[in-house]
Amino acid sequence: MAKSKNNLKYIPTEIEQKWQKKWEETKIYSPNLDKPFDKAQGHRPFYNLMMFPYPSAEGMHVGNMYAFTGADIYGRFKRMQGNDVFEPIGLDGFGIHSENYAIKVGRHPKEQAKISEKNFYRQLRATGNGYDWSRTVETYDPKYYKWTQWLFIQLFKAGLAYRKKAPVNFCPSCKTVLADEQVIDEKCERCSSIVEKKELEQWFFKITKYADRLLNGLNEIDWAEKIKIAQKQWIGRSEGMIINFGGIDVFTTRPETADGATFLVLSPQHPKAKEFKSKDVVDYIEISTNKSDEERRREKTGVFTGEYIINPLTKKKIPVWIADYVLMGYGTGAIMAVPAEDERDREFAEKYKIPIEKTSLSAKPVGEKVVNYHLRDWLISRQRYWGPPIPMINCPKCGWQPVPEEQLPVLLPDVKDWKPLGTGKSPLANHPEFYKANCPNCKGPATRETDVSDTFLDSAWYFLRYVNTEFDNKPFDELRVKKWLPVNMYIGGPEHAVLHLLYSRFITMALHDLGFIDFDEPFTKFYAHGLIIKDGAKMSKSKGNVVVPDAYIKKYGADALRCYLMFTGPFSMGGDFRDSGIEGMSRFLKRVWALASGIKGKDADPALDTFMHKTIKSVTEDMENLNYNTAIAHLMEYYNELHYFYTKYKILNIKYCKTLVLLLASLAPHITEELWNNLGEKSSIHQQSWPAYDSKLLVENEVTIVIQVNGKVRDILKIKSADVKNQKDVEHFASLSANVKKHLDGKKIKKVIYVEGRIINFVLNS
Ligand code: ANZ
Ligand code: ZN
């Protein structure tokens, strides 16, 4: 073992694959999930989770790798700090995203899923992340979606799933209904087509029942403020009043402005609007029906009904208009318009020459206090193929019945005509062998639901399944869940601030209320990572600026790529990807390799001790805050110091090197494992304790030395007292001063006079 290792070359690919295999064989990242929960015994379960990925067959680019690696580094750090870390991985492969890709490449989604899965898992393994590979979850696996269907049934039984006919967003290109939140600026989130409105019968989850809980719960969780604000805005709670305004109920958040109401506006979908039969009104209603909410808000249009009502406060006659900036789905679908106070009303009044009158801001109309939310119920139905069939049966006699639990899963059949129809029906509706069923209640002939569920449902509960993958007879085991959840650290992209995070919170609350789990917030801490930028834009397939990690891993090793990515900036901010940067990181690792491979033992040095303890302290703090970039910078400084000593004395105490390797282990897991092994250690570095620092050793005594050139003071040098005895060191550090350098440059030094601990004088040749 002690045989000189200096001549061993650092060949990343060799050691990386070797250790990846070894880690999986020895299961060092697979904690015993049933170990008794005993704090005194030092068993501290720590669930470190990365947001569920939804990769396509093109696999991951370095922007994705950045996110996974940053999360993994934190998990590894927590493990070395003595926690029992559980870090699972899987993939969310159902849904429109994957199905659209299958359409694009002309392959059956099931077949495509296998290809994507294989490639994605291969890439993740090559990255060296410390996952528990014995517990993967894939949403299209019947063993998983059986329980997604079970979940639907629990919500149905609890009255939280219901059907209603509603105008829905329909994407003509994806040929499916979209949830409001999947429509961005009137366009489909997936394919950017302009979204249309369609009336369809759909399944909904009653998330609105949890609006207040979802709001209040935010006070109890450790999440980034910007994410909490996004959720609050999405829920959009507003307190207001319903006032009867000349016979029409209006919702207002500013009742005190009622005397400034100079007109009344009805939404075109308001029942009263249909009572006006003039051609102008009928035409207007017709046109506005096909517009999206966003379009309606942007360009304000309207039509005068010809009718007036009396403003109950001013007793003045005011006109009734119909305008589509007033939405039927909010408040009462009618407003008192106060152009003096409200921006939107003013814009409208100016356009249509309606009077604008000052209000006294103290009107006291009579009304009922109400609370309104912008949050809408969660639209679950998708008229597509690639998802879990909604487990419901419609009986002409008994109505909608859940599929009996012992009949789950309702398997998604292998069909050839799986592509979306665009008729408002799922492809499964062409398959009587699928939809013909017997009523679970009266056993008579009945029809199965042919829609599948929204893929956001798949990802709204997966964190519960990870700790229970071996159970086929239950979705999750009570004890396991009690021990491992809620998730201690959840890391993901800020773009999921609303949808995924809100749905997961809702499902958790519902499961809590149904008595399945004993907590109601799924993620104690949520950390939003930054994004990798390439050529000035976020790295993404749609931007066409994707960099694939594979070639870099082959050339420089996963460790160099990991460290490089983390070095681009604070993990919360992301950074710029540049080819030149990885070269530098690769050189740093080679230097660490050379240093740690050549070390022979020597006595400790007090000055180095201080540097080491300071380094441990800063790196520990950096890691805890996920500031991996500064952690790496501190390790580089520490390396330089060790290198300086080593070059000088040709010998170095081994503990300095071990500390370097330990502190680097979570960032660069392979090279450090190999070096650890070379330093004579038998067990994995990833099962070692994180180095501790001694705060007594952090302070070093400093001495101030005056630097002179030809007797003139040019700078001062602060140096550790341990170093003052060594004139060569003092000369070295003194010559680094910019001002001193300036005066020494190009000149020959005749001699150096050193008064120990006080003055160093460079005397030049004249
Ligand atoms: C008079 C008023 C005066 C209003 C004023 C606002 C400011 P939030 O906060 O989002 O709840 N409103 C009510 N129902 C509406 C609907 N269906 N479509 C569009 N707008 C609607 O907004 C509530 C306010 O938005 C209400 O208070 C109403 O205008 C308008 F200085 O009433 B307000
Ligand atoms: Zn029946």
Task: State pLDDT tens for residues 352-361.
Answer: 999 999 989 8
Tell the residue nearest (CA) to atom 18 of ligand 1: 326
Q: What pLDDT, on the 0 to 100 scale, is given for residue 1?
A: 38
- The answer to whether the predicted template modeling score (pTM) of the entire model surpasses 0.75 is yes
Radius of gyration of the chain (CA): 33
Task: State pLDDT tens for residues 397-428.
Answer: 999 999 999 999 999 999 999 998 777 789 99
On whether the CB atoms of residues 509 and 523 are closer than 8 A, the answer is no
357: left (phi over 0), alpha (psi -120 to 50) or beta: beta
Element spanning 732, H or E = helix 727-734
Range from 38-47, 260-269, 555-564 carrying the lowest mean pLDDT: 38-47
Q: What pLDDT, on the 0 to 100 scale, is given for residue 2?
A: 41
Q: What pLDDT, on the 0 to 100 scale, is given for residue 600?
A: 67
Q: What pLDDT, on the 0 to 100 scale, is given for residue 548?
A: 87
**What does the pLDDT average to over 513-534?**
95
Q: Is the pLDDT of residue 43 over 70?
A: no
Q: What pLDDT, on the 0 to 100 scale, is given for residue 710?
A: 93
Q: What pLDDT, on the 0 to 100 scale, is given for residue 511?
A: 97
- With a 6 Å cutoff on the Cβ, whether 119 touches ligand 1 is no
On whether the CB atoms of residues 697 and 609 are closer than 8 A, the answer is yes
Q: Is the pLDDT of residue 4 over 50?
A: no
Task: State pLDDT tens for residues 254-285.
Answer: 999 999 999 999 999 999 999 999 999 999 99
**What does the pLDDT average to over 576-591?**
92
The edge-to-edge listing of strands for the beta sheet with 702-709 is: 712-720, 702-709, 759-764, 749-755
CA dihedral 538, 539, 542, 547 (to 10 degrees): 160
**Please, which residues bridge with residue 446 across strands?**
437
Q: Is the pLDDT of residue 24 over 60?
A: yes
On whether the CB atoms of residues 118 and 545 are closer than 8 A, the answer is no
Q: What pLDDT, on the 0 to 100 scale, is given for residue 591?
A: 95
Per the structure block, which two tokens stand in for 220?
């109890």
| Peptide linkage before 339 cis (omega within 30 of 0) | no
What's the gap in Å between 428 CA and the centre of ligand 2?
Answer: 22
Task: State pLDDT tens for residues 325-379.
Answer: 998 888 999 999 999 999 999 999 999 999 999 989 888 989 999 999 999 999 9
The 8-class DSSP code of residue 446 comes to E
Q: What pLDDT, on the 0 to 100 scale, is given for residue 38?
A: 65
Q: What pLDDT, on the 0 to 100 scale, is given for residue 181?
A: 67
Q: Is the pLDDT of residue 689 over 50?
A: yes
Q: What pLDDT, on the 0 to 100 scale, is given for residue 219?
A: 94
**What does the pLDDT average to over 292-320?**
89
CA dihedral 67, 564, 20, 547 (to 10 degrees): 60
- With a 6 Å cutoff on the Cβ, whether 68 touches ligand 1 is no
**What does the pLDDT average to over 428-451?**
97
pLDDT confidence of 42, banded at 50, 70, 90?
A: low
pLDDT confidence of 602, banded at 50, 70, 90?
A: low
Helices (H), 599-627: 606-624
Percent of the chain scoring above 90 in pLDDT: 72
Name, in order, each residue with C-beta under 8 angstroms of 699's C-beta and a sequence gap of 6 or more: 610
List the CATH code of the domain at 238-372: 3.90.740.10
* Nearest-angstrom CA–CA distance, 50 and 70: 9
Long-range contacts of 755-759 (CB under 8 A, 24+ apart): 756/724, 756/725, 756/727, 757/703, 757/705, 757/721, 757/724, 758/705, 758/706, 759/705, 759/706, 759/707, 759/708
Mean pLDDT of the chain: 91
Q: What pLDDT, on the 0 to 100 scale, is given for residue 333?
A: 94
What's the gap in Å between 439 CA and the centre of ligand 2?
Answer: 5
The 8-class DSSP code of residue 359 comes to -
Mutate to test the pocket of ligand 1, among 342, 356, 362, 370 (most ligand atoms within 8 A of CB): 342
Q: What pLDDT, on the 0 to 100 scale, is given for residue 5?
A: 46
Long-range contacts of 644-653 (CB under 8 A, 24+ apart): 645/605, 645/608, 646/595, 646/598, 646/599, 649/602, 651/600, 651/601, 651/602, 652/599, 652/600, 652/602, 653/601, 653/602, 653/603, 653/604, 653/605, 653/608
What's the gap in Å between 595 CA and the centre of ligand 1?
Answer: 69
The edge-to-edge listing of strands for the beta sheet with 445-448 is: 399-402, 392-395, 445-448, 436-438
Exposure string (b/e) for 634-670, b if CB count within 10 Å is 16 or more?
bbbebbebbeebbeeeeebbeebbbbbbbbbbbbbbb
Per the structure block, which two tokens stand in for 590?
């080679």
Q: What pLDDT, on the 0 to 100 scale, is given for residue 189?
A: 80
pLDDT confidence of 100, banded at 50, 70, 90?
A: confident
Q: How many CA atoms lie within 13 A of 148 on its CB side?
A: 32
Tell the residue nearest (CA) to atom 25 of ligand 1: 252
Helices 669-678, 654-664: crossing angle, 10 deg rounding = 160
Name, in order, each residue with C-beta under 8 angstroms of 575's C-beta and a sequence gap of 6 or more: 530, 532, 533, 565, 567, 568, 569, 629
- With a 6 Å cutoff on the Cβ, whether 233 touches ligand 1 is no
Task: State pLDDT tens for residues 608-631.
Answer: 888 999 999 999 999 999 999 999
- With a 6 Å cutoff on the Cβ, whether 734 touches ligand 1 is no
Q: What pLDDT, on the 0 to 100 scale, is given for residue 277?
A: 93
On whether the CB atoms of residues 629 and 667 are closer than 8 A, the answer is no
Task: State pLDDT tens for residues 188-239.
Answer: 887 888 888 887 889 999 999 999 999 999 999 999 999 999 999 999 999 9
**What does the pLDDT average to over 18-39?**
89
pLDDT confidence of 605, banded at 50, 70, 90?
A: confident
Q: Pairing between strand 574-576 and 531-534?
A: parallel
- With a 6 Å cutoff on the Cβ, whether 257 touches ligand 1 is yes
**Please, which residues bridge with residue 371 across strands?**
239
Closest ligand (CA of 332)? 1
Tell the residue nearest (CA) to atom 32 of ligand 1: 252
Q: Is the pLDDT of residue 10 over 60?
A: yes
Phi and psi at 178, nearest 5°, equal -120, 150
In the chain, where the domains are located: 147-206+378-456, 238-372, 701-764
List the CATH code of the domain at 147-206+378-456: 3.40.50.620
Mutate to test the pocket of ligand 1, among 239, 241, 330, 369 (most ligand atoms within 8 A of CB): 330
Tell the residue nearest (CA) to atom 20 of ligand 1: 326
Task: State pLDDT tens for residues 647-679.
Answer: 887 788 889 999 999 999 999 999 999 999 998
* Nearest-angstrom CA–CA distance, 178 and 176: 6
- With a 6 Å cutoff on the Cβ, whether 320 touches ligand 1 is no
CATH architecture of 701-764: Roll (3.10)
